[in-house]
Amino acid sequence: MSQVSYTEDNIKSLDWKEHIRLRPGMYIGKLGDGSSPDDGIYILLKEVIDNSIDEFVMGNGRDIEIKIEDGKVLVRDYGRGIPLGKVVDVVSKMNTGGKYDSKAFKKSVGLNGVGTKAVNALSGYFKVQAFRDGKTKSAEFSKGELTSETKIVKGKGDNGTLVEYIPDDSIFKNYKYRLDYIENQLWNYVYLNAGLKIHFNGKVLYSKNGLLDLLSKKTNPEALRYPIIHMKGEDIEIALSHGQQYGEEYYSFVNGQYTTQGGTHLQAYREAIVKTLRDFYSKNFDSRDIQASVIGAISVRVEEPVFESQTKTKLGSLNIGPDGPSVRAFIMDFVKNNLDNFLHKNKEVAEALLKRLQQSERERKDIAGIKKLANERAKKANIHNKKLRDCRKHYNDKRGKDQELKDATTVFITEGDSASGSITKARNVQTQAVFSLRGKPLNCFGLSKKVVYQNEELNLLQHALNIEDGLQDLRFNKVVIATDADVDGMHIRLLLLTFFLQFFPDLVRQGHLFILETPLFRVRDKKKTFYCYTNQERVDAINELRGKAEITRFKGLGEISPDEFEDFIGEDIRLEPVVLKEDTKIEDLLSYYMGKNTPDRQVFIIDNLKVETDEIDEENQVIDLVNEEKDPENY
């Protein structure tokens, strides 16, 4: 075995920007292309906004302006502004910032002086400008390198800080901002900071009642079993109700930061609800019966919070502060005292809540036998058939330490053997799995969860994903619906969306559900081949080939060869995330599309059918032009 040299020449020191650019995942998590809410481009935005939020929390500035246009991001706050003599240092020198002074930023989100440096290093263009007491200073960078700097001069503008940047497209390849993701993120900021106004691309986001507004907007009041319980204390705010949905729905925050993966505070909140309700009703309810259908939110303020990663999505702190109680004890005491008092004073709410718990208990016992038989069938099916062609790396592999590889795990849900066969042959066996449906799935709208265990296809699907008892053991980071681009394929897609929204809405809320986009056309001549996903891409391809082209319309995934499919599910994969908007109410959504055929839906179908017909006519005209060897530019 040859010896590998190890000398002084092998030891290298990287400066701050080189290290961030070489290992961006250490600072902003995964890169992504913008199709997931935790992709890098949204973390960059969060790092800048967090600084503005900290200014607001400290009582400085009630407005934040955010604009995103043509890939450029602008964030302007009206806080104190960066001290003018340190404008360059705070965005380009590691371990430099005001947040190390606990008196100035006692309970801020970011404490490690990294955030804006990471944004600077990972941006092709970056500008920072501070305004203080009638004076201003600015600096511009490219990939962390200072390109220009002004002196401190007189300047117009209220106190505060302006940051502009464009992510480096050599690092964030083929990225695209999903404004729905950003707007949801910004709404969370205003819910957690009552009185703050965020101006985003012409919209004004504002909340007066904090978490009460959050839950009110996330739910349909008619679906709640009792009015939302809302309580505030020093450094803590909670909101709670029970609905009719399946599973739990929680929103947790630390120092104004949305902790999408929860942490010690959320676990304590869940435990506190169970313990308090058991004690109040003097009955040892199964925790599942209490937690079923909960919709809740919690916000806490923690001194010097410890997060499990730079992206701050999971709290790891055990104590509220250096000299304070444990997070668990603090939350348990607050919930027990305040929720118990509330229920004693509000008998109608206490009675409605008790009925909800008793109903959950009956439903759980009712399906216990069916569930046991279904689980046995699922185990046998996994042994004797190949519905799930698994990958080698699972998202919930506790032994795996490569987070980036875990994040890459994907399962494609396909229709029929031909489509699944093509994807199976083309996939990356390390990270991509395939689940093959047999026929059209059942329309689940309005049905109870009992049907999931009674229906073999749905039962096997939930077991393949390992989501029977929640998302904590989800085996794949991305669940991708991959159906044909025809009427039957769209119908299957709609039925699967109904299944997930009805029984596993958290899969959608947490950004795990996607639609696979595959090309509608192949346009080629003897030298070049273009795969086109839209009519416009097809026309552009025909133009580039000067009208001399062979056009193939893909009607099904099975028509695409494995060699071609490898391009469509590789680095250039196009995934459309399934996103619930801030004011989307699942029950209303499903009722509209999957309920009785209402006049409103008939009008919707007719209007959209006309659009589809126009597109088909356009498609046929272009193909006719090509066949007649006419120049499409004249069309």
What is the C-alpha separation between 263 and 526, in angstroms, rounded? Answer: 57
What is the C-alpha separation between 65 and 73, in angstroms, rounded? Answer: 11
pLDDT at 612: 47
- Taking the CA atoms of residue 172, residue 584, residue 533 and residue 493 in that order, the dihedral angle to the nearest 10 degrees is 120
Torsional class of 43: left (φ above 0), alpha (ψ -120 to 50), beta (otherwise): alpha
pLDDT at 14: 65
* DSSP 8-state code for residue 319: B
pLDDT at 279: 95
**Which residues, at least 6 apart from 553, have a Cβ–Cβ distance to it below 8 Å?**
520, 521, 619
The per-residue pLDDT for range 322-360, each reduced to its tens digit, is 667 888 899 999 999 999 999 999 999 999 999 999 999
What is the set of domains in the chain, with CATH numbers?
A: 16-206 (3.30.565.10), 217-357 (3.30.230.10), 368-518+556-595 (3.40.50.670)
Torsional class of 530: left (φ above 0), alpha (ψ -120 to 50), beta (otherwise): beta
pLDDT at 104: 42
- Using an 8 Å Cβ cutoff, are 242 and 293 in contact? yes
- Using an 8 Å Cβ cutoff, are 194 and 210 in contact? yes
CA atoms within 13 A on the CB side of 507: 28
Prediction pTM value: 0.74
pLDDT at 387: 80
pLDDT at 613: 47
What is the C-alpha separation between 541 and 564, in angstroms, rounded? Answer: 17
pLDDT at 5: 61
Q: Say which residue the tokens 């809740």 belong to.
A: 296
* DSSP 8-state code for residue 582: T
Closest CA to 120 of 210, 31, 47: 47
64 C-beta neighbours (distance < 10 Å), count = 26
What is the C-alpha separation between 552 and 565, in angstroms, rounded? Answer: 15
pLDDT at 112: 44
What is the C-alpha separation between 295 and 278, in angstroms, rounded? Answer: 18
pLDDT at 12: 58
Low-confidence ranges of the chain (pLDDT < 50): 1, 98, 100-105, 111-112, 383-384, 398-401, 611-616, 618-619, 621-635
Amino acid at 126: F
pLDDT at 164: 96
The per-residue pLDDT for range 483-503, each reduced to its tens digit, is 887 788 888 999 999 999 988
Q: Give 3-state DSSP helix, strand, coil % of the chain, rounded to 5.
A: 45, 20, 40
Q: Sheet of 410-415: strands edge to edge? A: 388-389, 432-437, 410-415, 478-482, 513-517, 574-577
- Using an 8 Å Cβ cutoff, are 263 and 314 in contact? yes
- Taking the CA atoms of residue 280, residue 283, residue 286 and residue 292 in that order, the dihedral angle to the nearest 10 degrees is -40
